[in-house]
Amino acid sequence: MSAGVDRVAAAFTRAREENRAALVGYLTGFDPDRAGSLERIFAACEGGLDVLELGVPFSDPTADGPTIQAAMTRALASGASVAGALALAAEIRRRFELPIVLFSYANPLISYGPERLSRETAEAGADALLVVDLPPEHAEVLRGPASARGLGWVGLVAPTTTPNRRARVLGASSGFVYAVSLTGVTGAPLNPGDPALHAGLATLRSASSLPIVVGFGVRKAEDVRALAGHADGVVVGSALVEAGQRGPAALGELVKTLRAGTLRA
């Protein structure tokens, strides 16, 4: 299997051929510590994730709600770093073929060094970057080196994104596009049947050939089922982090339940 955007594309193609949305799961590296996070991530991958978003902890995660903020705090207390997250990615890659997306904020990634980050991300076997606080007009500092290494660049589109900015985000994206389902932070309450949300997803799908993945507030199989027909993938984050605190087995069972919800009618 080839790396980077090709591995991401293949995951969405497989899901589409199985008449379902891809299940994208977020977990924070080093939460609660290095060994514990690997146990949880392995359980989630074995449970049926199609794409893993591996959180690179940051001390000021403004886009995230209390659950993921707390996970990042625990991870940092356990010695998390960019280098440590990349080492985790390499261990995950040795065991699983699913795409790995590094999810973080601009500060730690730029501080690490864009060229070094892109080189080591590719060497670790990760496939894409998702940087939640780097707008398209400033993204080239990381996107350029990442693209040169064959890595995807996941753009984010929110309900408040203007048409002009949406076009810029889509034009800079590769791998997939992350549609933020609501105005708020991760883990906030979501109405997955909201017609306005469905209409926004339809607009994105008509504007880009990339897979459209929807996230923020998705917690249950019923949420996933309500969105599976409107997007190419569905992201679950805070609910996975919470399940992980109950142990790897609980997390793996939740992933299995969520994956069952990805099937389309």
Q: What are the residue numbers of the active site?
A: 53, 64
CB 204 within 8 A of CB 177: yes
Of residues 7, 4, 15, 14, the one with CA closest to residue 234: 15
Helix (H, G, I), strand (E, B) or coil at 250: helix
- Six token digits for residue 200: 């926004």
State the DSSP string of 114-148. HHHHHHHHHHHT--EEEETT--GGGTHHHHHHHHH
- CB-CB contact of 13 with 40 (8 Å): no
Angle between helices 34-47 and 248-260 (to 10 degrees): 30
Angstrom distance (rounded) from CA 188 to CA 203:
23
d(CA 255, CA 105): 25
